[in-house]
Amino acid sequence: MNSRHEKEGGFSLIEVLASIVILSIASLTMTAFFNSAMTYNKGNQNKTVMVNIARNVLVYMEKQDFVKMKGYFVNNPIPDKMSLSYTDCNHTQCGTPEFQKLFINSSSLVEVLNPVVNNIPYHVTIEYQPDNVNPDLNKYLLPIVVKVSNIDPIQSNHRSSEVEGYITSGDIR
């Protein structure tokens, strides 16, 4: 006696394969979303690090002698000298002895202009911003912008950050 059930209650092979394909598409889409979110988060983290480096360099510059910095940035007849850059430093010192006399602690200037944070090297450039709007303030304030760039192209889409600030004269402190 051959007993066959006329109605079987299982899934067919086509239904199982279709459900696997649908679940695969959904999981790949979610994986791509999380990958994109992680990349965006890492870029923001690197941008935050660069902004913090720029703020620290700005604090370092605010502690320097106003008269010396004004002499270097404003009164210098060479237009290229309106900035301080990582290119002014090698691995042991920054610039000439005259250049080193500008800073209170010139030995730390190499680390200031070429910081390494989380094993990622950064380059710092400090530029003077001439303020032609209010020349009376130029006697007491020296406007600068600190630019930090990430030199590792793999680490981030955010390649540079800027922070503006002032070196203030001791007369108004």
The confidence score (pLDDT) of residue 130 equals 81
Q: Confidence class of residue 124 from pLDDT cuts 50, 70 and 90?
A: very high
- Decide if 151 contacts 122 (C-beta within 8 A): yes
In a domain, 84, yes or no: yes
The confidence score (pLDDT) of residue 171 equals 78
Give the chain's domain count. Answer: 1
Query: Over the chain, what is the mean pLDDT?
Result: 83
Which long-range contacts (C-beta less than 8 Å, at least 24 apart) are formed by 19-23?
none
Which domain range does residue 101 map to?
Answer: 14-168
Q: Confidence class of residue 165 from pLDDT cuts 50, 70 and 90?
A: very high
What is the pLDDT averaged over residues 128-139? 77
In a domain, 4, yes or no: no
Q: Confidence class of residue 106 from pLDDT cuts 50, 70 and 90?
A: confident
In a domain, 5, yes or no: no
